[in-house]
Amino acid sequence: IEAVRIIKKDPLFASGKISLKLGVYCTIQPYAAMAYHLVRKYMPSTELTIMPGHGSVRTANNFAKVQASSSDLAKTTVFSWIEFDGLMFTQQNPIAGIESLANDLGARNKGQQVNAIIFNHWRTAENRTAAKYAALTSLLGPIKTDDFYTSYAKRLGIADTKAFAANMKKLEEIDQLSTNDLPNVGFCWIGAWLQGAPYTWMNRTMLQKVNNMYDSVGASLEEIKKSVTHTAGRSYLDFLCNRIGTSSLYLKAFSAGAAIQTIEKDGTGKYAGSAPARATSICNEALLLFEKYMEMHTRMMPDRGTEGTLINLWHGPMYGLKVLRKTIGNIPMDAPVKEEKSSDAPPLPILIKKG
């Protein structure tokens, strides 16, 4: 607070030539609410941007518990998500959370214009549906997801709008489950993989559950696609089915790598006996599945962002397996060894478990 007061004395800020907006990045709800309250109480004239959660649903749920008057909201920007960077290699659908946030802000503003919402994303083609919904909601106000999915399907020439909507809602469910229970399974920050994690602790049962859900959605969308003759609709479903398939392959690869959790150290704290050979086999199996992911992914690459996904995969999840293969299996690295050179990096998404 004192830092903001000092900055405001700078001639450029004091003259109004440069505006100042304070950011609150706090994904633990009680702390986020308190931080918001302190800023509004002691700096009522300062614009504020708040990121109260990871993923669109968490953001909506957490911000709904933040007490804010209409005058507070007039100086508030809410930071939400079109996609969460902890799930960067799988197909996401954040629309449920965006709808919830829009409904909450609309109700609290009593129908008046919302100040601002920021939607975070990295990929483009994979997020065209969510981006469309976010854009329309920003322009027109809250839109019911059923209405949106029905209209979206019709415009693409998809006749079975109910089935399409049901699958998109299933993707919403997958999105929320993955954010809550597989929070770092696809984190794009390279630092998350330097020591081989999170293969060593990820919930293997949940990996299989979400994988099965993707397979179910993929099979259903393939059936829907059979009756679509419109070029735009087939193109859309071709790409979506591809990314559902790569999502399934990603989780299969990750699950294979997470079998490393079954390897234990001996009484001296070392990996001995058959442990190194087993670790090597586990990592090799997972790496082969990741190569299948890459092969399938490259069949549909409509923009440069899709190239970035593959580069990130190679330097992140696949690199992490090679670290584990070296650490436990004693197999030399076949990629340049990365070292953490700076502590200035984003924190890992936090999973708060209530007892």
pLDDT tens track for 78-105: 999 999 999 999 999 999 999 999 999 9
Q: What is the pLDDT of residue 346?
A: 54
pLDDT tens track for 237-272: 999 999 999 999 999 999 999 999 999 988 888 999
Q: What is the pLDDT of residue 19?
A: 81
- 310 pLDDT higher than 90: yes
Distance CA(283)–CA(335), nearest Å, equals 15
Name residue 241's amino acid. C
- 180 pLDDT higher than 90: yes
Mean pLDDT of all residues in 142-148: 96
Mean pLDDT of all residues in 287-309: 96
Mean pLDDT of all residues in 16-31: 89
Q: What is the pLDDT of residue 170?
A: 98
Mean pLDDT of all residues in 269-287: 95
Calculate what percentage of the chain has a pLDDT beyond 90.
77
**Residue 141 φ/ψ region, left for φ over 0, alpha for ψ in the -120 to 50 degree band, beta for the rest:** left
Which structure tokens are listed for 304? 């440069």
Distance CA(106)–CA(113), nearest Å, equals 8
Do 55 and 175 meet the contact criterion of CB atoms below 8 Å apart? Answer: yes
Q: Per-residue DSSP letters for 128-187?
A: HHHHHHHHHHHHH----HHHHHHHHHHHTT-S-HHHHHHHHHHHHHHHHHHHHHSTTTB-
- 1 pLDDT higher than 90: no
pLDDT band at 182 (very low <50, low <70, confident <90, very high): very high
pLDDT band at 355 (very low <50, low <70, confident <90, very high): very low
**pTM for this one?**
0.91
Mean pLDDT of all residues in 317-329: 95
Distance CA(22)–CA(46), nearest Å, equals 7
Distance CA(7)–CA(214), nearest Å, equals 49
Q: Can you tell me whether residue 87 is helix, strand or coil?
A: strand
The DSSP code for 191 is G
Q: What is the pLDDT of residue 254?
A: 98
- 338 pLDDT higher than 80: no
Lowest mean pLDDT among 106-110, 257-261, 273-277, 300-304: 106-110
Q: What is the pLDDT of residue 267?
A: 87
Distance CA(203)–CA(176), nearest Å, equals 15
Mean pLDDT of all residues in 121-150: 96
Residue 198 preceded by cis peptide, ω within 30: yes
Return the ∠ at Cα 103 (arms to 214 and 28), rounded to 5°: 70
pLDDT band at 146 (very low <50, low <70, confident <90, very high): very high
